[in-house]
A and B are shown apart, each in its own frame.
Chain A
């Protein structure tokens, strides 16, 4: 059986005054997906988050040149960094604070997902996560795994971050691999949203079936109610929903933008 990722994405900015510094990217053709959350006090955080996810979905699998997953991740990251800030790009006459901020670099948390074997007998997922952007894997309305954090109380205020500075040490990603099957629900969620969803699930709410059906209006309603109840932190919120649907005939063409709303 061939599986086809059916993708929808939803997003809300923390305030109306500033654009969300979360970013996501999807390429169904190559079954690669990513979400990044720009650090709120960092230079070009949203731009770096967008560059990271775009690079992830457009780059071949990290292990393509040999080595373990962490080495492949480090190689991919260095390429993303060099593409983000081309050498010699900063003008010499820019203000002292712009120079100093650029020297410090941009920072973001990141989760990248790749699916393999979707047309074969052993489809699998592999996720690379740094910080507190999360992958949640749901099967038959039960949470199979949450990575890199599975406890809503474990989300802190100082997550590990991916720096844009070329040559700086690459953070060791949390790498997770497991089998997937038809009708599995895969969710990429930014930190506050992931913590909220895990808390709802821990409290016995039927959050996973609700997320299978949720639309843009429903997502806004869920977020609003969560913030009003105090269970959801007011933050940029992004959710990428991937349902592994059995393909009736052949897989449809891919797209770099999800078939949903954001």
Chain B
């Protein structure tokens, strides 16, 4: 239970993202002018892009199957499920090879030097309905339990939940506790939570105690969140975050940059690239 298993073809890693797609996600994110749903979709697509690139060793070979990835959207009760569009629609878990081969589309963007670059999109923004978080955590448990049966010696699954509200289908603490009881021989499943910005300023990233948090809702999400393994603490420090001993994978009132940083630190690997994996 040491969280030191490196990812390779024999021991892939599972990253499962849970996205709140409730109606309130249509609100804008302060000065960023994007909706919360758009900002989260952009961050998720950026993360998936990053995960694919970690698997590309050379141009001829194509990506290696180092990662299994799932994206679950939750907004309507009894309809919680995969958020992929296009060729991957309906699939709970896909490999990094599938991601590389089947983006929904490639958007043309401008890079820092004015040139054109192609950036893949897999997930579209959605903002409708309510917040059935318990159902999403339950589904995550099913997906992760099945995955662990097939990969008992891999790095444990990392589940990242992003929400701008509170569950309206029960107490998510119960489902989070069940989820984090799952484990591989390398460690317990890691559940990280991000509360999306509902007010300007006041982002609190990777707290280590509830007295740093301003509300009962924030304290509840903190309590549901796993402690960061040491190498993720290292990754957070490399990314310029002040992280104390006992820090948990939780960010309160996350703005756009905090979401991106949170996703990267939460999916850091034992050995990662600066600015890429951490």
A residues at B contact (CB < 8 Å) = 14-15, 17-18, 39-45, 47, 90-91, 94-104, 107, 156-158, 160-161, 233-235
Q: Please determine whether B8 and A18 come into contact, CB atoms closer than 8 angstroms.
A: yes
Number of contacts between A and B (CB, 8 Å)? Answer: 94
Q: Please determine whether B52 and A97 come into contact, CB atoms closer than 8 angstroms.
A: yes
User: Can you name 27 A-B pairs with beta carbons within 8 Å?
Assistant: A14-B8, A17-B8, A17-B9, A17-B10, A18-B9, A40-B271, A41-B54, A41-B272, A43-B57, A44-B58, A47-B58, A96-B103, A96-B106, A97-B52, A97-B56, A97-B100, A98-B56, A98-B59, A103-B117, A157-B234, A157-B235, A157-B268, A158-B238, A158-B274, A160-B274, A234-B6, A235-B6
Partner pick for A39 among B49, B238, B273, CB 8 A cutoff: B273
Of A39, A40, A44, the most chain B CB neighbours within 10 A belong to A40
Bound state CA distance, A41 and B106, in angstroms?
Answer: 23
Q: Please determine whether B273 and A41 come into contact, CB atoms closer than 8 angstroms.
A: yes
B residues at A contact (CB < 8 Å) = 4, 6-10, 49, 52-54, 56-59, 62-63, 100, 103, 106, 111, 117-118, 120, 231, 234-235, 238, 268-274, 276-278
The distance from the CB of B128 to the nearest CB of chain A, in whole angstroms, is: 30
The distance from the CB of A98 to the nearest CB of chain B, in whole angstroms, is: 4
Bound state CA distance, A45 and B173, in angstroms?
Answer: 42
Contacts of A156 in B (CB 8 A): 231, 234
Contacts of A102 in B (CB 8 A): 59
The residue in chain A whose Cβ has the minimal distance to the Cβ of B8 is A15
Bound state CA distance, A179 and B273, in angstroms?
Answer: 35
The distance from the CB of A227 to the nearest CB of chain B, in whole angstroms, is: 12
Contacts of B62 in A (CB 8 A): 95, 97-98
Bound state CA distance, A222 and B278, in angstroms?
Answer: 33
Partner pick for A45 among B52, B57, B118, B235, CB 8 A cutoff: B57
The residue in chain A whose Cβ has the minimal distance to the Cβ of B54 is A41
Q: Please determine whether A100 and B6 come into contact, CB atoms closer than 8 angstroms.
A: no
Bound state CA distance, A18 and B111, in angstroms?
Answer: 33
Partner pick for A157 among B53, B56, B117, B231, CB 8 A cutoff: B231
Bound state CA distance, A61 and B228, in angstroms?
Answer: 44
Bound state CA distance, A41 and B268, in angstroms?
Answer: 10
The distance from the CB of A157 to the nearest CB of chain B, in whole angstroms, is: 4
Bound state CA distance, A17 and B61, in angstroms?
Answer: 14
Partner pick for B271 among A44, A96, A157, CB 8 A cutoff: A157
Please judge, given known A-B contacts A97-B53, A102-B59, whether A41 and B271 are in contact too, CB under 8 Å.
yes
The residue in chain B whose Cβ has the minimal distance to the Cβ of A47 is B58
The distance from the CB of A84 to the nearest CB of chain B, in whole angstroms, is: 13
Contacts of A94 in B (CB 8 A): 59
Please judge, given known A-B contacts A43-B53, A96-B118, whether A157 and B273 are in contact too, CB under 8 Å.
no
Contacts of B7 in A (CB 8 A): 41
Contacts of A234 in B (CB 8 A): 6
Partner pick for B63 among A18, A45, A91, A97, CB 8 A cutoff: A97
The residue in chain B whose Cβ has the minimal distance to the Cβ of A89 is B59
Q: Please determine whether A158 and B118 come into contact, CB atoms closer than 8 angstroms.
A: no
Bound state CA distance, A67 and B54, in angstroms?
Answer: 37
